[in-house]
Every structure is written in C-alpha cells, then in structure tokens.
A and B are shown apart, each in its own frame.
Chain A
Amino acid sequence: RIDLNALREAMGVMQHHDAVTGTEKQHVANDYARLLQRGIEECEIISNAALNKLTNGTTNSSSHNPEESVQPFYHCPLANISQCASTENLDNFVVTIYNPLSRSIDKVINIPVVGGSYNVTDSKGVAVLTQLVPIADFVINIPGRSSNATYDLYFVATAIPALGFKSYIVSKTKSKNNDYNSEETSNRISI
C-alpha cells in the first residue's frame, strides 16, 4: 500500500481544475509531470511483485517459494514515441501483456526495435505472425527522442485472459528461416 501512495497523492493534487484542463502555468505543468513520474515509478514496485507472483503461479505471500526466480518487469513509458531502452538493447526478451479488463481480448502489440529479423513465439513455442515497419521520419525527429530504434515490430497477442497475462518470447535472428520471421514491409512506395 505504501508503494501506491505517491501516485495516489499525485492524482489528488491533479483534481485541481487547472490540472484537468491544462490551464496551469508552465512551471506547474513541469511539477505535475514530476509528481506523476515519481508516482508511476513507485507503482512499478508493486506491479513487479504482483506479476512475479502471477507468473510463478502463486497467489499469496505465504505460498511464495523463495527459490523461485524473481524476474524484472520493465515498462516502456516512451513507447508512444517508439523509444524503449529494453527492447532496443536486448536480442532476446520476454513481452508480458497484462489485461485489466474482465473479459478476454486480442491486442496488436507494437515494440520499437533496432531492425534486423525477429522471431516471436508464444508460451507453447509456436511462432506467431510478425511485421517490421520502419518508424516514420516525423516520429524519429520528435525533439527529445533519444533512441536507436528504427523499426516497430508488430504482432498480435491473442486471447489474453481476463485479469490475466500472456507472455511472448522475442528473439533476434540472423537468418530468415521460417515464414513467420519478420522482415521489413516490402511494398513501400513514396508518392
């Protein structure tokens, strides 16, 4: 509960009408951003703990086995400008998608990567369809964007359970050895 307090308090502050409508002064806007960022970082502690329990198959602390591996779960707060330190710098990583809705959903997942060829497999080891799309120049040139990612890797996560998660393994490959290996979308024409 302590880990939630920073974001709780930030959300309390941001009930002010200037925060709701964006009519605050510039330095106040900067302070709101600082409060939100700090709150979200503290919430990561609890989401990491919860996801470790879920992925290890335990539901309460008394049944937690200390020998079970603790896995870090990073999120990408700048994914909206196709920037993510984790996916850009790792050749092999796991994408875990948590569904907060009370019904199963399908979702198109989009991850910034440096390019090349990627294999994405589901939890049963089955390869899924992927698509590599060059990041638009007008996104790459957004001021403040600092990223080596030049492509967005797309795949479809299917049947993510209600209030549950699904994991996919992404591996960078050297050769294109199956039909589902991603490669740059070829029919790209400038008009």
Chain B
Amino acid sequence: KDTDTSFQINSLTGLITEVRVDGVSMPLTQNFFYYEGYVGDNRVFSNRSSGAYVFRPYGPIKPASNGVRFTPIIGEIIAEARQTFNEYISQSIRINRIENYIEFDWVIGPLPTNELRGREIVTRYSTNFQSNSTFYTDSNGKEMLKRRINFRPTWKLNVSEPVSGNYYPVTSKITIRDEQQHLELAVLNDRAQGGSSLNDGEIELMIHRNCLHDDAFGVGEALNETAFGKGLVIRGSHYLTFGYTDNRKAQTPAFIEKDIAQKKLLDSWTFISPLQTTPKEYQ
C-alpha cells in the first residue's frame, strides 16, 4: 500500500516470474537446486571429500524439484506465496505494506541421509542482467569487493574447481549490476553464507548442506547435524531489492540496501508483558 512493491507467480510452474520494487519492474526467477558432495578417501587432493571445511561438488547442479505447489495469501499488511518444492524445501515469498524489499523466507531440512553423497542446497535468483561475469560480495564484512569469474587480481588463475573456485563468503550482501540498464540487484542474507554468480545475471547462495563423510581437514566428523533426533531444519530469509543506480529515482539501491541492513542487523526488540489492569488503566 505504501510502497509500490509486488511480485508475480506463474500459476503453472508455481515459480516467481517478475518482481517490482519501488515502482521498478524486472523479470526474475528463483528456484532451489542442489549439488551432490564429492566422496573420496582423502589421500590426495583430487580424492578429498566435500566436508565441513571444503565444498567439492560432484557432477552438475540439479533442480530440487520438478514442480512447485503454492498457496497465495493476500491481506492488508502482508501478502505471501507459500511454495513447497519437495519434502525438505519450502518457502514463503513475502511483501509487506511498508518495506522496499521482497523477503524469501525458506525452511530447509531434514536433508536426506540415505544416499552415498550429501546434498548441498542452493537458491538461485536469475535475471536478464548483463553482469559481465562480475559480482560484488561483502566478504570482509566492511566493504563490497569486486569479484570476477575465474579471475584473481594478483595472479593468473588456472581454475580446477569451476564452481567452488568461484564461491566467496557473503557476510550480509551480494550484488550484481547491469551497467547498460543502470540497474543493481542485491540479496541481503540474515547469516553468513557462501555465494557466487556463476552465470551472467544470476546470484547463487548456499543455504544448507550435509556431508556424510569427513574431509580430513581436522574436524574429524561428518557434517550431518541433528536436532531432536532428526537432521537439522533451518529457517532463514533473503531480502531482495533492486533499483536504478543513476539518479532517476529518489532512493538509490545503495540507500535502500543500507536501510534494510540497519533494520535487520540492529533489529528492534519485542517484549511481551501480561496486562495486569484494564487497557484504559494501562494507558
């Protein structure tokens, strides 16, 4: 109501197809995928298992599901689409009447453990951006650092791990830009994650993983956390926003991103007190 922010879902696929933030629209899709973790005897580097310390995918990325069931809920304060991708991946895509972002609130787990290889779950946001193999991450938690696929600024890189060799820490934000359209897309995460932009116009973030074999780097146990006797279930959010980087709008993406970051990292505290008198007396 107060902000011109919305999204569209394709009723056949159940996936998001377009987003609108502060009156600016663009096509965007989002889906969940997984990598299988490499399993080896750890004797030489090429046989190193994917584990707590290292991410070594085995084979190509795979979609987490073939179809998505979804339920829209539309109200005066929030509107959301609840999506169920499979038995261990669900999500609510949510907007509210006062904020300039779209929230992706995911619930992942328990991941399957009945296979040889662990699963490493990622989410991908795909746009038509021409991002020239370049993206930005706040890996040191202080400033946005420029990243280029298959490139290091101080030496000639021979990439032997095309996926994990391009993954970087994302402390609270990852962005891509389209210099021709003067657009910037940002995903703010509520916890540190690994992320990349392996293809132009895409942002990929890893949000959950289990590795059924130790990587022999020191932890001495498989990464297969449990809670209440089952594999760990995690819940968290990504906040997606975008806008024009030139001055055609009053609020630039940097302004909106800083506003969201402040509100999320220094979130307000909510306390509950029993009402011991009548509401009138309390007032």
Contact = CB atoms under 8 A, between A and B. Distances in A.
Interface of A: 18, 20-26, 29, 47, 51, 69, 71-76, 79-81, 84, 86-87, 90, 92-101, 105-109, 111, 121, 123-125, 129-131, 133-134, 136, 138-139, 142-144, 154-156, 160, 169, 171, 185, 187-191
A189 B71 contact: yes
A187 B74 contact: yes
Contacts of B92: 136
Given A101-B262, A185-B73, A188-B73, A75 B78 contact: no
B110 interface: yes
B18 interface: no
A95 B268 contact: no
Interface in B223-275: 225-230, 233, 235, 262-263, 266, 268-275
B279 A143 contact: no
29 contacts: A20-B192, A21-B192, A47-B269, A47-B271, A51-B271, A69-B276, A71-B276, A75-B270, A76-B272, A80-B235, A90-B274, A92-B279, A94-B274, A95-B271, A95-B272, A96-B271, A97-B269, A100-B266, A101-B263, A108-B98, A124-B283, A133-B80, A136-B90, A138-B90, A143-B230, A144-B228, A155-B77, A185-B74, A188-B71
B189 to A, nearest CB: 14
Interface in B85-134: 90, 92, 96-99, 107, 110
Contacts of B53: 23
B99 A108 contact: yes
Contact of A79 (B227, B233, B270, B282): B270
Contacts of B221: 25-26
Given A93-B273, A101-B263, A106 B98 contact: yes
Interface of B: 11, 14, 52-53, 69-78, 80, 82, 84, 90, 92, 96-99, 107, 110, 192, 219-221, 225-230, 233, 235, 262-263, 266, 268-276, 279-280, 282-283
Given A96-B273, A123-B283, A169-B275, 4 more contacts: A97-B271, A154-B75, A171-B275, A188-B73
B266 A101 contact: yes
A91 B276 CA distance: 11
> Chain A interface secondary structure, helix, strand, loop or mixed?
mixed
B72 A189 contact: yes
Given A73-B272, A86-B274, A94 B282 contact: yes
Contacts of A129: 76-77
Nearest to A119: B279
A133 B268 contact: no
A108 B77 CA distance: 8
A94 B275 contact: yes
B181 to A, nearest CB: 31
Given A143-B228, A154-B78, A169-B282, A84 B84 contact: no
A22 B221 CA distance: 13
B238 to A, nearest CB: 15
A22 B279 CA distance: 46
A24 B219 contact: yes
Contacts of B275: 90, 92-94, 169, 171
B225 A26 contact: yes
